[in-house]
Structure 1
């Protein structure tokens, strides 16, 4: 008899450093969920329910996909936020960090997935998101520079 461990985890991180870009601009773009579709070509629409704060949710519709409900787990304004997407048998976390260094700003995103069906959701969703993190970060930087 094979027993699944309670937590099977996979994670992937992408990080990029930029100079001459204030963290406040990046934070402004990242937290304006209702405008994500403008600078993220893989998103058809996104809608935040209420304010951008822990406990609130937003809905996201990927291009060609169905609506997904995502909960904001924690927020440290101007520095980081973590969101949670629940799938049957798995939970996917997105941790988005902005780290100020003496020579600029580091933008870091970590996607992780856990649960007994994480292997399935990893293949169906998480790996695709992880594969797009570099392009998403570049689009975030360009939008922050534009505003």
Structure 2
């Protein structure tokens, strides 16, 4: 098992950040760590929702939501032979906005090996996602947010 994580403080209300973060179809607009997202089940995200997510340099992976507490966190998993990746997206409100904690855990027979081989790109992609989310949340006024449920 191999764990990667990053955290960032965002000067925007947690509700605003949650709306951006869970509108996964729009991730390619604000993070270069995601090339495309295809919803395999209707959005918005809910437990059981699945998306096919493509990242630069990698084959597309299907991610399925396994836990979701609105406004607080969601967890999704992706499976491949010998390995499971579990990613968590957590929001904690603060007086000035919120803190976002992102993590990925590689589990299974090949999880440690894949995690070791992918350690630099995994950490870089987590940090890109955190920076992109921060930029998007702090640069868009609340009234410009429109939740895309399609």
Shared fold (TM-score, shorter chain, > 0.5): yes
RMSD (Å), alpha carbons: 1.7
Residue from 30, 36, 40 that aligns with 1:39: 30
Distance in 1, matches of 2:109 and 2:102, equals 23
User: Equivalent residue of 1:27, what SS?
Assistant: helix
Distance in 2, matches of 1:86 and 1:93, equals 9
Distance in 1, matches of 2:118 and 2:70, equals 28
Structure 2 gap segments, 5+ residues each: 141-150
Distance in 2, matches of 1:34 and 1:42, equals 13
Q: Report if the CA contact (8 A) 1:113-1:126 is conserved.
A: no
Higher fraction of strand:
1
Q: Which is further off, 113-122 or 76-85?
A: 113-122
Residue from 96, 102, 110 that aligns with 1:109: 102
Task: Extract structure 1 runs of 4+ deviating beyond 6 A.
Answer: none
What's the TM-score once normalised by structure 2's chain length?
A: 0.83
Residue 125 of structure 1: how far off its partner (Å)? 4.2
Aligned length: 138
Q: Report if the CA contact (8 A) 2:2-2:116 is conserved.
A: no
Distance in 1, matches of 2:31 and 2:8, equals 17
What's the TM-score once normalised by structure 1's chain length?
A: 0.84
Higher relative contact order (CA 8 A, sep 6+): 2
What are the Cα deviations for residues 63-115 of structure 1, in whole angstroms up to 9, with x where unaligned?
Answer: 23322111011111111000101111111100110001334411101111111
Q: Which residues of 2 match residues 39-58 of structure 1 at below 5 A?
A: 39-48=30-39, 49-51=41-43, 52-58=45-51
